[in-house]
């Protein structure tokens, strides 16, 4: 068994621009940027198709195509194009040549869960409620903002959690392309047969993913309207698990089956 | 990467044998994990239906397994199983669990309570009810899970190429293309894995229609 604890507690590994804090910041930066960009795209599109029902098939199919594109293939595939275009578009090599491919690949990875969950969350809102809202004279915007979004919040954040988790885990592959981040320890450890570094890096990424997911679970709980917390489960399998209805994991099917 | 074209079609035509081999390997890297994952998660879901208490912990554990990055998981297993297919298959299997357990359990949960009571009233035993009522009615959500698991696994399997070329699949093209700066290989691997994902998705939908003929009556819904 390699000395993971020794590696993790060695002060040398906690300083400098190749130390754990620096790699952690690189990792968090790319994840934050990618999930941010994906939210900026996926959330409005999901709200639009979820509220209007228009172009839903197209949006969901595009999202599913996004799911089918392997991140590894995508980032490696963007690299030659980025290299070719870099001088033309004035792409700053200081950012690291691999930043752009990784950022684009991670954004594309993060969009589908957010988009599909937003769509499915809105679609699951009871149609009678929306009709009642219309009858009370709410505008479409008010229906979206006051009825649909609050009721769909747990599901939307569920999609956001899935995206974030996938990006944190997958961004490690960026190290194969010479990007930094926590994956650096894994790839270098693998290449140099430095098992302590390899396992240490793996532990760091896993802990980071679990921590972030835990924080998001709390956010999800806090943002869920009180009336929806501990909502009675549809018979089975459990009463206390809010994750159970996370349509992001089902593709579009939930909306279909639950009607 | 300089002056060479992004895609060298002559090279592709010269290497159709390689391509066929990598495709077969990739299908193998996908089918084994999804099959194992489905069997495991079916048992877990049935267990969760009988004992609702265990559902939370099962999902939590699958969630933790899901957060382990694939290269990290490979790294953990290399000292035990070496650079073998087993090392590749174990993480790919555990990644399918989260998707499949949730969908299988939701599939069972989606069976209406009055249908279950009707089955009891007709004198079905627990096993008969599971086999003849609950399993068939859970098929649509199960298949939705399998579709997602297959598509995800086809993508993740590209990373397995770092383990070795005797079973590397399409990711082998991507990795070799990266190492030798030969974009043709990169795009070949990328395009073929996406194409494989679509083909698999399409085939599964066809199989599902066969398995649930009663659902075809409601066809036309998106």
Q: What is the mean pLDDT of residues A133-139?
A: 88
What is the pLDDT confidence band of residue A151, given thresholds at 50, 70 and 90? Answer: confident
Radius of gyration of chain A (CA): 21
- C-beta of residue B70 within 8 angstroms of C-beta of residue A194: no
Q: Mean pLDDT throughout A27-31?
A: 94
* Structure ipTM: 0.72
Nearest Cβ partner for B151 among A67, A83, A209: A67
Closest residue in A to B199 (Cα–Cα): A68
Return the ∠ at Cα A159 (arms to B96 and A20), rounded to 5°. Answer: 75
d(CA A227, CA B167): 52
Positive or negative, the Cα torsion across A187, A193, A196, A202?
positive
Report the candidate in B63, B51, B22, B45 with the shortest Cα–Cα distance to residue B196.
B22
Higher pLDDT, B203 or A233: B203
Higher-confidence position of A59 and A68: A59
Using CB atoms, which residue from B67, B151, B189 is nearest to A209?
B67
Decide if pLDDT at A138 tops 60.
yes
For A166-212, what is each residue's pLDDT tens digit? 899 889 988 888 788 899 998 898 888 888 898 899 889 889 988 99
Give the pair of three-digit tokens for residue A204.
Answer: 């760091």
CA distances for A190 relative to A179, B13, B51, angstroms: 15, 34, 42
Environment class of B36 (CB within 10 Å of its CB; exposed 0-12, middle 13-18, buried 19+): middle
Residues 10-39 of B with CB under 8 A from A: none
Highest-scoring range by mean pLDDT, A59-63, A132-136, A190-194, B74-78: A132-136
Domains of chain A with bracketed CATH: 4-258 (1.10.3720.10)
- Domains of chain B, each with CATH number or no CATH: 9-213 (1.10.3720.10)
Beta-carbon separation of B194 and A68 below 8 A: yes
A138-142: average pLDDT: 87
* Residues contacting residue A258 through CB under 8 Å, at least 6 positions apart: A124, B110
For range A54-67, the mean pLDDT: 81
Bond before A237 cis per omega within 30 degrees: yes
Q: What is the mean pLDDT of each run of 10 residues along chain B (222 residues)?
A: 69 88 94 96 90 87 82 83 91 91 86 86 86 86 90 89 83 88 88 91 88 65 42
Nearest to A64 by CA among A122, A120, A148: A120
Q: Taking the model in full, what pTM does it have?
A: 0.79
Output the pLDDT for position A92. 64
Q: Residue A233 pLDDT > 70, yes or no?
A: no
Chain A: closest CA distance from residue B36 (Å) = 19
Cβ atoms of residues A180 and A201 within 8 Å: no
- Over 70: is that where the pLDDT of A238 sits? no
| The predicted structure's pLDDT at residue B100 | 92
Look-up of token digits 């398995």: B211
β-partners of residue B219 are: B221
- Chain B residues 103-162 with CB within 8 Å of chain A: 103, 105-106, 108-110, 113, 140-141, 144-145, 147-148, 151-152, 154-156, 158-159, 162
Q: Which two tokens stand for residue A148?
A: 């649909």
Please check whether residue A116 is in contact with residue A252, taking contact to mean a CB–CB distance below 8 angstroms: yes
Please give the residue that has the higher pLDDT: either A41 or B205. Answer: A41
Please report the pLDDT score of residue A91 as a whole number.
63
β-partners of residue B221 are B219
Share of chain A above pLDDT 70, in %: 85
* Among B residues 182-221, those touching chain A with beta carbons less than 8 Å apart: 183, 186-187, 189-190, 193-194, 197-198, 201, 221
CB B171 within 8 A of CB B154: no
Interface test mutation site (partner A, options B7, B61, B69, max chain A beta carbons within 10 A)? B69
Question: b vs e for B127-160, b when ≥16 Cβ sit within 10 Å of the residue's Cβ?
Answer: eebbeebbbebbebbbbbbbbbbbbbbbbbbbbb
Distance, in Å, from the CA atom of B75 to the CA atom of A195, rounded to the nearest integer, reads 9
What is the total residue count of chain A? 259
3-state class of B124 per DSSP?
coil
CA–CA separation, A107 and A66 (whole Å): 10
Give mean pLDDT, residues A228-250: 45
pLDDT of residue B59: 86
Verify whether the Cβ–Cβ distance B221 to A201 is below 8 Å.
no
Q: Where is pLDDT greater, at A32 or A144? A: A32
Give the closest-approach CA distance of B80 to chain A in angstroms.
Answer: 11
Q: How far apart are CA B182 and CA B177, in angstroms?
A: 5
Between CA B44 and CA B33 the distance in angstroms is 16
The pLDDT of residue A164 = 92
Give how far Cα B117 sits from Cα of B112, B137, B212, Å: 9, 14, 22
The residue written with tokens 């933790």 in the block is B64
Helix axes A20-52, A149-170, angle to 10 degrees: 140
């Amino acid at each position: 068994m390699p000395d993971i604890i020794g590696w993790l507690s060695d002060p040398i590994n906690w300083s400098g621009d190749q130390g754990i804090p620096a790699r952690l910041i690189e990792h968090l930066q790319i994840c934050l940027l990618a999930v941010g960009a994906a939210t900026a795209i996926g959330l409005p599109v999901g709200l639009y198709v979820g509220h209007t029902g228009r172009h839903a098939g197209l949006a969901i199919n595009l999202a599913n195509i996004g799911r089918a594109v392997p991140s590894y293939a995508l980032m490696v595939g963007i690299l030659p194009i980025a290299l070719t275009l870099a001088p033309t578009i004035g792409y700053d090599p200081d950012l690291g040549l691999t930043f752009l491919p990784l950022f684009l690949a991670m954004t594309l990875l993060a969009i589908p869960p957010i988009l599909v969950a937003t769509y499915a969350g809105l679609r699951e809102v009871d149609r009678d409620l929306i009709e009642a809202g219309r009858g009370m004279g709410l505008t479409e915007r008010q229906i979206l903002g006051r009825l649909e979004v609050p009721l769909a919040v747990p599901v939307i954040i569920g999609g956001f959690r899935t995206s974030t988790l996938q990006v944190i885990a997958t961004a490690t592959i960026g190290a194969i392309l010479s990007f930094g981040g926590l994956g650096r320890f894994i790839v270098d450890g693998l290449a140099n047969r430095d098992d302590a570094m390899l396992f240490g890096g793996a532990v760091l990424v896993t802990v980071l993913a679990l921590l972030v997911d835990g924080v998001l679970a709390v956010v999800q709980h806090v943002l869920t309207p009180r009336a929806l917390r501990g909502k009675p489960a549809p018979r089975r399998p459990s009463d206390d698990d809010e994750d159970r209805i996370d349509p992001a994991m089902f593709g579009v099917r939930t909306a279909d089956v639950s009607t | 990467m300089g002056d060479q074209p992004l895609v060298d079609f002559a090279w592709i035509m010269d290497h159709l044998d390689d391509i066929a081999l990598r495709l077969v390997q990739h299908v193998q890297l996908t089918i084994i994990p999804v099959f194992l994952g489905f069997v495991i998660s079916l048992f877990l879901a049935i267990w969760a239906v009988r004992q609702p208490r265990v559902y939370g912990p099962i999902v939590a554990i699958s969630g933790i397994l899901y957060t382990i990055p694939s290269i990290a998981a490979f790294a953990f297993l290399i000292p035990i199983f070496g650079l073998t297919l087993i090392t590749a298959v174990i993480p790919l299997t555990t990644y399918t669990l989260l998707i499949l357990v949730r969908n299988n359990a939701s599939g069972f949960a989606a069976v209406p309570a009055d249908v279950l009571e009707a089955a009891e009233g007709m004198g079905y035993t627990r096993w008969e009810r599971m086999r003849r009522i609950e399993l068939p009615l859970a098929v649509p959500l199960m298949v939705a899970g399998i579709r997602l698991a297959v598509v995800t696994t086809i993508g993740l399997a590209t990373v397995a190429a770092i383990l070795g070329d005797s079973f590397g699949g399409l990711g082998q093209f991507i990795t070799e293309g990266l190492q030798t700066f030969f974009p043709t290989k990169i795009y070949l691997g990328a395009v073929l894995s996406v194409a494989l994902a679509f083909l698999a998705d399409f085939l599964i939908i066809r199989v599902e229609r066969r398995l649930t003929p009663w659902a075809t009556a409601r066809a036309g819904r998106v």
